[in-house]
Structure 1
Amino acid sequence: MTSDADTLRAELRARLPDPLPNRLGVAVSGGSDSTALLRLLADIAQQEQIELFAATVDHGLRSGSASEALTVAALAQHWGIPHETLKWQGWDRKGNLQDQARRARYRLLAKWAESSALQAIALGHTADDQAETVLMRLGRAAGVSGLSAMSGMRAESGITLLRPLLAVTRSRLRNYLTAQGISWIDDPSNQDQRFDRIKARQALSGLDQIGITPQTLARVAENMGQAREALAQYTQESALRHLKGLDGDLCVDREGFGTLSEEIQRRLVVASVSWIAGGEYPPRHKAVGQVLDALSSAQTATLGGCIFIPDCKNTWICRELNAVSDEIAQPGIPWDRRWIVTGPKTEDAEIRALGEDGLLQLENWRSAGKPRAALLSTPAVWTGDLVVAAPVAGFANQWRAEMLLERSDFAAVILSH
């Protein structure tokens, strides 16, 4: 007879890559979800002969957080798993605490993964977490992408994140731990009603009478995830038909763009801004709508550090000068997080935006084939007030400007949103 522990392991394994990475990390807070994940992965790692590593992020926000990290370290050592505590330092106590802590957590885990040569990190998010996320996003009138909530696998901060427990409830994991004689830590902040997630958790507990349970909301998220993937595929196909990339910018065929549904138009605008300007969060719905109006009427607009420039039958989407006017880098060092400019050794050379002063020094900038305003934010090589080179603007002078490999593929950005 198959035990629930065996069933859990099989369900978890089915939601992990095949084959597993040779070196796999797991984030463990000490709560029931991540503790169960660590134990289950330890069994799988032993069976499949891979190396497993654990890390605990100590946010330092509670007096007991350090001792909790020590408890996790002792448990990992007992199971023969290398463990490291990652401490969050430098919080200025401004802004949204949970958002700041989440960002810091992923940054710390990404650095740990890089230093430990880990190929992926498993996280202990469960069906309950998924359900709470869906409930909160319903309250914000989220669309398909928002309601798809967390994905089972995604790249963030340069590392692959795995969430193999999204279909498993917290109560089931706690029953598993109890049967195994394994204890866990209850975080007192999980009762703090200042946080929206805790409010959603408590609200969810009263909705089961009408069939709204963690399992059903997790299935809603999975269904929305499939719809999101289908929309992303169609958005990518639309981009290939109606958008063309040139040296880090995008040129939109307005007539063809206008034949698309508003949902696809929105997705293309959001993906374009993300590809050109980066940013952790997509622009707001209302702001995107204003840009769509500007596109349809061939007007100039700005959004998320990008400028939309009408030019005959097209509109160019480019980096906005104001967003990069203070950016300075040395040759060979990333500029604006997406350009690498290299060339002959030149004393006192630095990379800055071309700008109005730089463009006035160029005679043949029109050969670049872009509107004047689009060239102002491109990288140029300066020595003092003199432009030595502006490769994107048609003045190479033995210098090259190349996009970072991870920022060079617009189609990949579309499929990730």
Structure 2
Amino acid sequence: MGQKGGGPDERPLAQPTPGTTVAGVIARAMTPPDGLPLDGPLAVAVSGGSDSLGLLLVLRDWAATRGITLHAVTVDHRLRPEAADEARFVARTAAEWAIPHDILTWDAGPAPTGNLPDQARRARYGLLTDWARDRGIAAIALGHTADDQAETLLMRLGRGAGIDGLSTMAARHVRDGVAFLRPALSLRREDLRNVLRAAGQTWVEDPSNDDDSYDRVRLRQAMPLLDELGLGVPALAMVSANLAQVRDALDHYTRAEAVRLVTQDAGGDILMPLDQWAALPPEIARRLLRAGLTHVAGPGYPPRGRALDQLMQALRAGRGQPLGGCLVQGTRNTLRITREPAAVAGLIARLTAEPASGPGAVWDGRWQLSGPFADTDEIRACGEAGLAAIPDWRVTGLPRATLMATPAVWRGDRLIAAPLAGFASDFNATLLRGLEDFDAAIRTH
């Protein structure tokens, strides 16, 4: 379906602001300093709903005027029978708009259990980042709007969330080297629907949007009443933005304390003087601890709330415990955050032969190994078995738990190399998340 009538630049906002248009708002959000300088193609994650499809249409024209290659990508979680048809609808629409499009599918297994929405969200970001890196795509735009922000604020308020949970969504963040942008955060959902209506373009209505067993649906149904009480989307968005300023100030002081207190050893562990960390204001101490967990375990959704508070209490009492894929200990006045051996016990990277000077393979998202691999070699955790084969591992000066969670090269059951444990055999392990990357772990919103 081609665009009809006025283009996106001519569409008025649902709540008009003098001198602004939908396309103008998005263009400003995509331009530095608000946006990111693009050094490669841009993609839009499109579900087929009005928000993401409207964003794709606006960014099609924006990218064309700047000579930027635009892609569209749809993730099919295979959780609803309609999802495959919706993905094909996006593919047809993108083809009509001359935009390359890919469909990514998630295999959740025969009967996924646990927090399925959280699993799907993690899987979606994982699929998108892998896809983007493979294609050299610099950034992926997401269709979140002010309505999403308001709904999220209310949902999190009901769960007793803190500053981070109640703050506005980040306009941009980076995961595994891929930038995610939200250029429509200041727009209403109706703004993007108006863009599509002007183009004669339909969109997909997710049937779950009418299922009032979901909290978000009930909040949407209650929004007209909240609006009458002065608690509509504009007011909620302003509150969220104000809280974001508070969050940013806390992050600023957290960064300053990180420069003062945080170090990293050869095993990739994050270290802080325990007494100085414990003397910090509780919120700054909490943020430093959470950032350390994120830095070691990798990006995602770091522990928050009660679990993090319990860990802080344990550390102040001289005890440690595992959390978020990490083992946190406080001994000899050192707060140490290491990768939990159990979290990587089953992690395997299979290799193909390459010269010792080759780029190697990445393991656990933070170690890159290079060396004279054989076709059948695997990178697995050093573990108990690896340390048992290295009698002098103690000369490294690294704790046992740290070394157990570091990468080793295995040929079947035989240890070929464990570079961090002092058994190299011409293999090298390079840490991909150094201390210079710690700042990114502080801002995880």
Mark yes or no: TM-score above 0.5.
yes
The one-character-per-residue Cα deviations of 1:373-401 (angstroms, maximum 9, x if unpaired) are 44333334556776554432344454322
Question: In the alignment, what sits opposite 2:270?
Answer: 250
Query: Among residues 271, 277, 291, which one is paired with 1:271 in the alignment?
Result: 291
Q: Matched residues in 1 for 2:82 and 2:100: separation?
A: 22
Do the aligned residues in 1 keep the contact of 2:41 with 2:68 (CA within 8 Å)? yes
Inter-CA distance 413–177: structure 2 relative to 1 (3 Å threshold): same
Secondary structure of the corresponding residue to residue 194 of structure 1:
coil
Do the aligned residues in 2 keep the contact of 1:128 with 1:170 (CA within 8 Å)? yes
Question: In the alignment, what sits opposite 1:219?
Answer: 238
Q: Matched residues in 2 for 1:197 and 1:151: separation?
A: 20
Q: Matched residues in 2 for 1:167 and 1:8: separation?
A: 10
For these two proteins, the number of residue pairs brought into alignment is 416
Do the aligned residues in 1 keep the contact of 2:264 with 2:434 (CA within 8 Å)? no
Deviation at 1:347, TM superposition (A): 9.7
Question: In the alignment, what sits opposite 1:92?
Answer: 110
Query: Among residues 66, 74, 83, which one is paired with 1:48 in the alignment?
Result: 66
Question: In the alignment, what sits opposite 1:190?
Answer: 209
Q: Which amino acid aligns with 1:113?
A: A
Query: Among residues 138, 151, 172, which one is paired with 2:191 in the alignment?
Result: 172
Inter-CA distance 69–278: structure 2 relative to 1 (3 Å threshold): closer
The answer to whether the aligner puts 1:323 opposite 2:351 as a matched pair is no
Deviation at 1:329, TM superposition (A): 4.2
Inter-CA distance 311–225: structure 2 relative to 1 (3 Å threshold): same
Q: Matched residues in 2 for 1:230 and 1:164: separation?
A: 23
Question: In the alignment, what sits opposite 1:145?
Answer: 164
Higher relative contact order (CA 8 A, sep 6+): 2
Inter-CA distance 301–90: structure 2 relative to 1 (3 Å threshold): closer
- The 10-residue stretch of structure 1 (88-97 or 117-126) with the greater mean CA deviation from structure 2: 88-97
The answer to whether the aligner puts 1:413 opposite 2:428 as a matched pair is no
Do the aligned residues in 2 keep the contact of 1:54 with 1:76 (CA within 8 Å)? yes
Query: Among residues 184, 201, 209, which one is paired with 2:220 in the alignment?
Result: 201
Deviation at 1:191, TM superposition (A): 0.6
The answer to whether the aligner puts 1:377 opposite 2:405 as a matched pair is yes
Question: In the alignment, what sits opposite 1:110?
Answer: 129
Q: Matched residues in 2 for 1:360 and 1:188: separation?
A: 56
Q: Which amino acid aligns with 2:285?
A: Q
The one-character-per-residue Cα deviations of 1:18-42 (angstroms, maximum 9, x if unpaired) are 4555522122333222232122222
Deviation at 1:344, TM superposition (A): 4.9
- The 10-residue stretch of structure 1 (155-164 or 337-346) with the greater mean CA deviation from structure 2: 337-346
Query: Among residues 362, 383, 390, which one is paired with 1:334 in the alignment?
Result: 362
The answer to whether the aligner puts 1:404 opposite 2:428 as a matched pair is no
Deviation at 1:134, TM superposition (A): 1.0
Aligned sequence identity (%): 46
Inter-CA distance 212–159: structure 2 relative to 1 (3 Å threshold): same
Q: Which amino acid aligns with 1:283?
A: P
Query: Among residues 287, 308, 316, which one is paired with 2:328 in the alignment?
Result: 308
Q: Matched residues in 2 for 1:186 and 1:111: separation?
A: 28
Q: Matched residues in 1 for 2:53 and 2:373: separation?
A: 54
Inter-CA distance 115–251: structure 2 relative to 1 (3 Å threshold): closer
Q: Matched residues in 2 for 1:173 and 1:220: separation?
A: 23
User: TM-score, structure 1 length as denominator?
Assistant: 0.86
User: TM-score, structure 2 length as denominator?
Assistant: 0.81
Question: In the alignment, what sits opposite 2:27?
Answer: 13
Unaligned runs of at least 5 residues, structure 2: 1-8, 13-19, 352-359
Do the aligned residues in 2 keep the contact of 1:21 with 1:50 (CA within 8 Å)? no
Inter-CA distance 252–93: structure 2 relative to 1 (3 Å threshold): same
Q: Matched residues in 2 for 1:386 and 1:77: separation?
A: 52
